[in-house]
Structure 1
Amino acid sequence: MATALYSHDDCLAHVTPPGHPEQVARLEHIATALAGPAFDALDRRQAPLAGDDPILLCHPRDYLDRIIAAEPATGTVALDADTHMSPGSVQAARRAVGGVIAAVDAVMTGEVSNAFVACRPPGHHAERATQMGFCLFGNIAIAAKHAMQAHGLTRVAIVDFDVHHGNGTQDLLWDEPRALFISSHQSPLWPGTGAESDRGAHDNIVNIPLPPDSGSATMRQAYEGRVFPMLDAFEPQLILISAGFDAHQDDPLAQLRWRTEDFTWLTQRLCDLATTHCGGRVVSTLEGGYDLTALAASAAAHVTVLMEKGA
């Protein structure tokens, strides 16, 4: 089978103000990095538009209505200090949700081995009724809920290796006993959440704070010592990845100092666990990553492993 790549040009219509780190160029650089002959075998698919129902799996109707109403007719509007919308932002956000849902369906039905969703805006900071951190809808949490509802899964693991804590995913899955959410993240760092003492209503939340400048060795020890054993014990039926590449040493927003090869290693290990427990079923979606060169290289490394493992 193959690795699916979901994206859509609508995601380029979500425009942020000049100088904003979550910019259109992020997707353009990833698209260029995945355009070479090494990626000819990718099953390239258009991310479909998500309707209201999938979004309402995680967000209340009044929040969805508020986001729709906030979209400007021209220019950009700030919903908070970090999160902006432009004409086309709602369409882009629906593509991001639709992409992860379609990827889950394709992987669960055996159309493809695994998938990467290159869409924006990202999602892991969006809480139940609060947009924040560049995010409008909780893409990966919605994907998890969809996998449970549409495919009857009872053990879905979400691994978030973005440098910032996935506070939105934690909020949306806090009461969900069928999900195991694991977030490794720099601490201290915005948004200031992600304490190890946060365990979820069903002991289903695992936070792994990593100190600034701790680098590759500390990360690998944390994953070897804690994350991988937890995933083994959980025996997931599907692994979802919030793939933020802003832990890279060149990223301007944080200081974990990971290297591109760390994303290769981490993807390999997660795919191996998926092979052991769930037939290799992995769906990964783009979160952060704000140095454009590092983002492109790291995303390419991530997708290369998915292709190798999914072949």
Structure 2
Amino acid sequence: MTTALITHPDGLQHITPPGHPERVDRLMAIYAAIDGMDQTGLRRVEAPMGTDEAILRCHPQSHIDAVTEAAPAEGTVALDADTHMSPGSLRAAYRGVGAMTTAVDIVIKGDVQNAFAAMRPPGHHAEKTTPMGFCLFGNIAIAAKHALDVHGLERVAIVDFDVHHGNGTQDLLWDEERTLFISSHQMPLYPGSGAPSERGAHENILNVPLDPHTGGVELRLAYERMVFPALDEFKPQLVLISAGFDAHRNDPLANLNWDEADFTWVTEQLCDVADTYAQGRVVSTLEGGYDLDGLAASTRAHLQVLIQRGTHG
């Protein structure tokens, strides 16, 4: 078995204004980090264009139309204070959807053990009818619905360790009892949601707020006390990961104190959950991470665990 790295050059064509943290250099830094790794056990897959059919499992047609119509012919446009589009943004967003549905397809079919989608823009802040927080479509929620509706799985878990709450994923899956969405995130911080009281229509959401300056010790305690017991009770048949690396101690947009060892640990633990309940099946996607060195090192650490599990089980 192997690990799939799913990406596409279109991810470099999503241009944001000068000084914007979610920039092309993020993907370039990840590519450079991966190119410096041992490629044994890594299968590169070109992300196809996603389909409206897949997107419509989470977003209404009006959202697709609004995002499509907002795409500029030149320059950049602001959808809100944080979220921008350039002429290449729509294709990049569709590639992000395609990367995740393809990842689910090949992991469930057994072509690879696990997969990592390295695409931008990210997705976990996009709500049903609202692009926000740098995000246009809810890629990981779309992937979960694809696994449920196309492949017939009964239980899919999403764990989001981005430093910001995955409000979009929560919104898109609020009524979906076949999913368990778990988000650990700094609080207070953008977007302001993610309180423990936000539980979903079927008690299918678990929010784990972390105080500013929380480090690896507190991370481990929170996951061991709350996250892993919830996953054990749910028994997911597929584990999806919103892999945001902005909890890194050097990230400019937040104040958690994680390092590469922490991202290695949490990835290993989630792979253990997948080994126990989901035949080792893990699909991960890039979310945040805005210090380029920290992003590159953390992505590399995350991917090395996936490769090791894909190669050796």
State the TM-score bracket (shorter-chain normalisation): over 0.9
Where does residue 278 of structure 2 map in the other structure?
278
Segment of structure 1 superposing worse, 120-129 or 31-40: 31-40
Query: Which amino acid counterpart does residue 142 of structure 1 have in structure 2?
Result: I
Partner SS for 2:87 = coil
**2:150, 2:50 → 1: CA distance?**
15
Could you tell which deviates more after superposition, 49-58 or 179-188?
49-58
- Structure-to-structure mapping, 1:248-267, within 5 angstroms: 248-267=248-267
Question: Residue 35 of structure 2 corresponds to which residue in structure 1?
Answer: 35
Question: Runs (4+) of structure 1 moved beyond 4 Å?
Answer: none
CA distance in 2, matches of 1:53, 1:150: 11
Deviation at 1:87, TM superposition (A): 0.3
Partner of 1:191: 191
Q: Percent identity?
A: 65
- Which residue number in structure 1 is paired with residue 48 of structure 2? 48
Question: Are residues 1:86 and 2:86 paired?
Answer: yes
Q: Using the alignment, how far apart are the partners of 2:65 and 2:278 within structure 1?
A: 37
* Counterparts in 2 of 1:252 and 1:37: CA distance versus 1, 3 Å: closer
| One-letter amino acid of the structure 1 residue matched with residue 97 of structure 2 | V
Match of residue 207 from structure 1:
207
TM-score scaled by structure 2? Answer: 0.99
Tell me the equivalent position of 1:309.
309
For residue 163 of structure 1, what is the aligned residue in structure 2?
163
CA RMSD of aligned residues (A): 0.6
Determine helix, strand or coil for the equivalent of 1:296: helix
SS at match of 1:262: helix
For structure 1, the residue ranges without an aligned partner over 5 or more in a row are none
Q: Deviations over 1:239-287 (max 9, x none)?
A: 0000000000000000011111100000000001100111100000000
Deviations 1:145-164 (A, max 9, x none): 00001111110000000000
Q: Please report the TM-score for the alignment, with normalisation by the length of structure 1.
A: 0.99
**What's the secondary structure of 1:151's corresponding residue?**
coil
2:247 and 2:257 in contact (8 A); partners too:
yes
CA distance in 1, matches of 2:30, 2:257: 21
Note the C-alpha offset of 1:39. 2.7
Q: Which runs of 5+ in 2 are unaligned?
A: none
Trace 1:226-237 onto structure 2 (pairs within 5 A): 226-237=226-237
